[in-house]
Every structure is written in C-alpha cells, then in structure tokens.
A and B are shown apart, each in its own frame.
Chain A
Amino acid sequence: MATNASVNLPSSAAARRSRRPAPGAGRWFPLFLILPSFIFILIVIGFPLIYSLYVSFTPYELLKPKSLNFELSTALNNYQTLLNDPVFWKALLNTVIFLTITVNLEYVLALALSQLLARVSFGQSILRTLLMIPMMFAPVLVGFQFRWFFNENLGLVNNILGVFGLTGHAWLVEEPYGLFSIILATIWMNLPVMTIILLAGTLSLPFELYEAADVDGASAWQKFRKITLPLLAPFTYIALTLRSLDVSRAFDIVRIMTGGGPGNRTELIWTYVARLSIDSTKFGLGSAMSWITVIMSLGFTVYLFRQLVKSRIVK
C-alpha cells in the first residue's frame, strides 16, 4: 500500500498531522519524556564541563592546590600557550586524520558487512554473536594485544610477512604506518558497532519496496543504491556521529599502543591532554585543550545534525 512505502515521506498532509499535538497530555508529554535524560546529562556531563571551563582559565597544577585561583589578567594564558604549541597542532591534525579515515573506512566496511549478513541464510545468530566478539574486549587489552602483533622483532604481523618473504616494518614507529596501525586496531574493535546499527536498520526496512522493485526488474545494485542506501541514511548518520564523537574508546588503545609517540607522530588530542593534565600535572592547560576540542566537536555536531535532518526528507 502506498502509505507503507511512504515511511519517511512527509507529504504535507502527513507533516501537518504530525505537528498537531496528540490528544491528551499535549505539550507537556514530550517534555516529561526527555526530562530524566537531561537530569542525568546535566549532573554527569554538564557540571564537569563547567568546572573544567573554570579551571581552564586558571594556572592550576594538580599538586599545587594554591594554583587554583582565577585572575582576569591571566585567564586566557592557557589558550594562548596551546595555540602557540606545535605539538597541539600536530595532535589536532592527527586527530582529524585519524577520525576521518577511521570513521569512513569503518562505514564502508560496515555497510558491506551488514548487507552480507542480512542475506545470510545459515547460522545467522551465531554469525551475529561472532560479529560482536571484538567489542567484548576491553580497549586496554586490545591495545596490548595489537601492540604485540605489530612489534617489529617479535610480532605476528612481521612473522607472517616473513613467511611470505616480505620485509617487515616497525609498524608503530614509521610514518605513516603508526597512525594506520592504530586505525586498524580501532576499526577491528569498533566495526561491530556500525555493522550492528546498519544491520538492524537493514532488517527493519520494509519488504514490499524490494518486491515492488523486483517487479520493475531492478538489478541488485540498483536496489541497493535507490532503496537501501537512502532508507539507511538516518542510521548512517547516527552511526557516523556516534563513532565520530566516540572519543573515549580510542584513547585507551592509543595510549597503550604508542602513547602518542614516537616523537609525537601518533599524538592525538586525548593522549596529549592526559599527559599534560596528569603526568605533567598541568591540569589547567589540559582543561583548556579539552575545551578547544569540545568547541570543535560542537561545530562538527551541528554539521552532522544538519545532514541527519536532510536525510530524513527522502526524495
């Protein structure tokens, strides 16, 4: 029926209907629904953010409690220091490269894998459980394991390459292999996430559209491009956003695999923040860097959100 095919097509009538307040509780109902979420977020994320904003304007150092004092004249010192710090810019560049490649590569692989898995007829649930295994390891452990895999002298990768007569490399040291090794480990660990989201999305796509396309004599590729991809778009953007902002999972892996080195070659924002804030105890400086990242994420978030909204209005 036509209405089923118009799952996400807000014809003006449907759009008008959706904006009419539903009977009953009316305006307050949605606000009640989102209130609990916001309470949690405000306490756990809002408060630390504000606190760390305050600290970023002070020269606070962890073991010098007296340094937590705010003076207007020195408020922007930390930010100035950072903007003049070449390591900060290198970390920023590396982070952008890392995120861009990781997220996009993961997306392509996850898309392919999800389509494959949606069509498998044998042992589906086992395969899905198998798929999620990489996610079940703590990132710390994955970091240790991959660091060993990539060890130049003793690691598995060079060992296997040696069997085929190829020369091994110092995967975690040489440029650009360092960043790529980390990207590989991160993708291995996180591929299941995007794959599951896209798989769940694929499995909930309406059957009839494909049947209709079959009747029209569409090829597999055409069905994929014209039906699957557009309908998966919202899930795609959710998955992309999720992974882009998913900073915390990458931190543990990078810290263990290379620590941001050598010589800042694989320095990412978070390894630098951790080293500054805690090892070197310069918490004020680290907070400033966190905030610069946060502001940039805001811009990025707005961009992705616009894409998400656009994707909801399917042709």
Chain B
Amino acid sequence: MRRSLLSFAIAPIVLAAACAKPPAPGEPLPGLDAAQRDQFDRGKVIFNRVFEPETGLGPLFNAKACGECHEKPVAGGVGDEVEVHATAFLSNGVCDPLADLGGFVYQQQVTPALKNALGIDKEPVPAKATAQGRRSSPDLLGFGLLDAVPDSEILAYADPDDRNHDGISGRPNRFFDGRLGRFGRKALVPTLAEFNEGAFPVEIGITVPAVPNEETVAGQPIPAGVDPVPDPELDAQSVALVNAFVRFLAPPSPPKLKGASRRGPELFEKTGCAACHVPRLKTGDSDVKALAHREVAAYTDLLLHDMGPTLADICLGLASPSEFRTEPLMGLRFSEKFLHDGRAASIEEAIRLHGGEAVAARDRFDALPAPEREALLAFLKQL
C-alpha cells in the first residue's frame, strides 16, 4: 500500500520530466546548475554589448557586437552580415593564410580615427591573395554540444582515401598547431572557446587577454593614437562569460514531423545526404553535466569534403579551395539564405549547388518523385 502511494506521489514528477518542453530558441541547455545559469545570463549581456571606439571598438571591425551578426530569431541566432576572407593557395599546395598581412579575415569597417589616419574604409585585401570568399553568419545554437564531441568521434567518420568506395572522403582539417579543427566553414578552429576569443579582436577589434594585440592593416601596425584604449580591451572574466553563454545555448528543439515530412529522415538517408550530414553525434566527457554524453542532432560530421569547383573559394589550413566542412543543419529553420556565403535563396537551390563528393546525393535528390522531394524539403525546413 505504501509503495503504491509512493508511486502515485512521484508519477506526476516523472510525467512532467518526460513531457518537459524542450528549450525555446535562445534558452540555455536543460540541466545547468544555478552557477552555470548565472554565467549564461551574464554572458548574454556581454554578447549583446555594443562597443564604440571609446570602449575599444576597432579600429578595424566587422561588427560592433557579437549579437549584431548572431541575432535572429534570438541572440546566438543567424545574421544577414557577410564578411570577406582571403588567402593564397600556393603552387606547391600549401595554403598561406596571409598571417603577415593581417590574417585571412578582412574587416569591412574602420573607426573614424583610422579613416582619418589612413584614408581607408575597410581593410584592403592584399594583391598576394589568390582567392576571396564571402562568409555568412551561422546560428550558434547547440555549438557547446559540438564542442563536446570527442576528436575520436569525428575521426571515426574520416575516410580520406575513400577506402569504402562510396564516393565520400571526409578528412579532418588541422589548426596551425596541428590540433584537429571543427569550427568555422573550413573546420579550422579546434575549440569553441578559441573561436569566440579570436572573434573579439578579428570581428569587433576588441583585444582580449589571449590576443592582446590589435589586428594589423595589411601587416602594418595601427598608427599611433588611433586606438588609445589600453589592451586588453576586454577582461578574462567577461570573455569567459561570453564563452559560457555560447557554450550553454540549447540546440534547436527536435522537429515535430507531421504529414509528408515524416518521411524526411528516411529520404535523407536514401538520397545519401546523411553520409556527410551525419544526423547524430555523441558528446564525450565534460565538466558540464548538461554537455556530457549527449546526442546532438547536428547533421554534420565536422569533416572537410570536396564540394566542387562552383563553390570553391579560399584555402585554409589543410582545406583546399573546394573543400568545406559539412555544414551543421541544426538550426536550418532559422536561415533565410543558404550555403557558406549565403548565395542560395532556398534549401532546394543550395542542394542543387552541391558538387564534388555531393554530386551523387544531389542527383538522387533531383531524381526523387516530386512528392518525396517536397517531403524531404519539408523535413529540412524544420531542422
């Protein structure tokens, strides 16, 4: 009798847990402790902080705040900004990231003081560059989970020599110190924290303790007096809070498949899309319980794949001009433009622009009967 009473008492709790609503876009991961939740909330404030020259902005920058480029439908979402990258792909196959000429990100805005000093409106791309690429702003929801995927999980999908003869040969990129990369459209950056820390100086012109020097103008130091704010312009605690905000952003909720879109997952497999856009990755150990040993519906393998000459632009690290990291499709529902540079106006157009290793999957998509193609697109629009 006592046991049945107990069961009766805890049943609503169990039921509530099972029926717990998934986090809405922009909300934190479920299961964070109070301290982590506090970091998330405080980090969000700094993520949305608008910098001005008096608070360290620039002198070269692409945006005045993290939240300027990652804003729709919430902080951490997508943006309509497109930035410019440039590198030199040398005849010996080595990629020169133009680190001595200001790096591969070419800031599109300057402060009035820099404009007065040098007469420029943006950082000039050096003549040495062999290619330029445009980069749209992706959403960051669930990126903490991607960060927690062990290297071994990613490398397990690598097949650089296509030994299984499926036409898919994903291979890892490496950062300049040899570590496995996973963040960025060319999978250059190993960790989310490094991506965020590097974004402050590169995107906003805000120096941080890990990068205490400003970007150069095509390799030339910033003229004296142009940026008088002492370095670092943002302290370590603030950087850590922004990292916590981005890391703890919950992934988009699972799609509620209705009608024809219920066939979407099956068709995604059948066409071969899932060979690169791996539906689920598993996280490993983490100091954050909410990130440890979870499945993340990322729809990526975080590896480089040849996408063909039409999409090719810059090289980066070990990535050749035509190689791109499989774009995570989680959060696709928030995008209004598609592919790494936003050139595609619809998901269907983006699929049709897939080349290289993706040609067979693209052709299978094209060959689907119209109702099945519509079902697959309906599914993708809900990711």
Q: Do A and B interact with each other, yes or no?
A: no
Chain B residues engaging chain A, CB cutoff 8 angstroms: none
Chain A residues engaging chain B, CB cutoff 8 angstroms: none
